[in-house]
Amino acid sequence: MNNPINIAVDAMGGENSPKKVIEGIVLHSLNSDRIFYNIFGNQKIIDPIILKSKISKDRYKIIHTENSIKDSDSPLSAAKKGKDTSMWMAIESLKKNESHAIVSAGNTGALFVIAKLNLSMIINIDKPALSALWPNKNGMNVVLDLGANIECNEKNLIDFSLMGSALHKSLFESEDAKVALLNIGSEELKGNNIIKNTYQLLNEKKNSLYEFHGYIEGNHIMDGNVNVIVTDGFTGNIALKTAEGTANFITSELKKALTSNFFGKLSAFLNISNLKKFKNKLDPRLYNGAILLGLDKPVIKSHGSTDAVGFASSLKVGEKIINGNLIDKIKKNII
């Protein structure tokens, strides 16, 4: 491969690993021929899975370790487990420039702590932010912070605006980044002092990376008028979990309605194309892959309970942000 992108993969993190991780790698490799996978985990378990697949041996390397971090480990105990866990070794390969990004479906708290222990923060960024994709009527939102920081000040929220815009530009190069602050109302005087002060600062200081569009309420997140939505980690996490729960409720209830009787099944058959589009729009696996922004290397968190399709989506996110020079975009625009 000419100038391959090397992605470090923690193969042992999350539910049903390493099976779903390896299957996700195989799925991703079918449409991404420039990727080389540095796979960290127990080779005795990985080999029987990957050798049955059609992925070429020159597309990956397995770095063996029998030690891994469990979902039940606290961030502190995970960090103390030693440098031979699959997660630590994967992140360390990023630190040593042996990989360009790392993807893990493992323990979120442990991933944050170990990443911060091994990697440097981008200069002038005080706090990292967890960002993810969120569908809207016109395409895709970048939303942050989704849980890395419970409390944020004005500078943090301004930094998040810059980082979120850089991420959106890296993923969707032809689109302009349009930033809005998540708030309890759209009026300028609504919200707490931190939100109101941030509004004033963003409104007064223009930035070439994005346009500032003021406040947005939770019920307008999916309207598509903006595409970078900024908030603190407490509010963002609640908003995300509420949206995920609502999407799961709608799809499960719709499935019940369309399979409960003959007429429902007939309707489903006649509308199969539209229903497939609807399902894909709400399928969280297709938007899987949260990015820990603020570090000087790309760290991508895959949902622990996702399947191979979801993990492949996280790998695609990693590939896109490397191709889009995300870290350079943040460094060039940060105050």
- At 180-221, the pLDDT tens digits run 999 998 877 788 899 999 999 999 888 888 999 999 999 899
Ranges of H-type helices in the chain: 19-29, 43-50, 75-80, 86-95, 108-118, 154-171, 193-204, 233-259, 262-270, 272-282, 308-323, 326-333
For residue 305, count other CB atoms closer than 10 A to its CB. Answer: 13
Q: Inform me whether the pLDDT recorded for 166 exceeds 80.
A: yes
Q: Is 36 within 8 Å of 7 (Cβ atoms)?
A: yes
What pLDDT is recorded for position 259? 76
- Greater model confidence, 95 or 269: 95
What pLDDT is recorded for position 264? 58
**How far is 237 from 93, CA to CA, in rounded Å?**
29
Could you read off the pLDDT of 102-111 as tens digits, one per residue? 999 999 889 9
**How far is 296 from 303, CA to CA, in rounded Å?**
22
Average pLDDT along the chain? 88
Q: Inform me whether the pLDDT recorded for 278 exceeds 80.
A: no
What pLDDT is recorded for position 58? 93
To 10 degrees, what angle do helices 272-282 and 262-270 make?
80
Q: How many C-alpha atoms does 254 have within 13 Å on its Cβ side? A: 16
Residues of the chain with CATH 3.40.718.10: 1-125+294-325, 127-293
CATH class of domain segment(s) 127-293: alpha beta
What pLDDT is recorded for position 280? 64
What is the residue-wise DSSP string for 168-198?
A: HHHH-TTSPEEEEEE-S-SSTT-S-HHHHHH
Q: What mean pLDDT do residues 38-47 have?
A: 96
Could you read off the pLDDT of 224-245 as tens digits, one per residue? 999 999 999 999 889 888 887 8
CATH of domain 1-125+294-325: 3.40.718.10
Which of 259, 311, 267, 265 shows the shortest CA–CA distance to 285? 311
- Greater model confidence, 304 or 11: 11
**How far is 155 from 161, CA to CA, in rounded Å?**
10
Name the pTM for this structure: 0.85
Q: What mean pLDDT do residues 137-155 have?
A: 90
3-state SS class at 34: coil
Q: Inform me whether the pLDDT recorded for 248 exceeds 70.
A: yes
Whether the bond into 145 is cis, omega within 30 of 0 = yes
**Would you give the DSSP letter of residue 12?**
T
Q: Inform me whether the pLDDT recorded for 76 exceeds 90.
A: no
**How far is 48 from 41, CA to CA, in rounded Å?**
13
Q: What mean pLDDT do residues 47-59 have?
A: 93
Phi and psi of 112, rounded to 5°? -65, -50
What pLDDT is recorded for position 268? 56
**How far is 91 from 242, CA to CA, in rounded Å?**
31
What pLDDT is recorded for position 198? 94
What pLDDT is recorded for position 26? 96
Q: Inform me whether the pLDDT recorded for 275 exceeds 70.
A: no
What pLDDT is recorded for position 92? 96
Q: What mean pLDDT do residues 37-52 have?
A: 96
Residue 276's pLDDT band (boundaries 50, 70, 90)? Answer: low
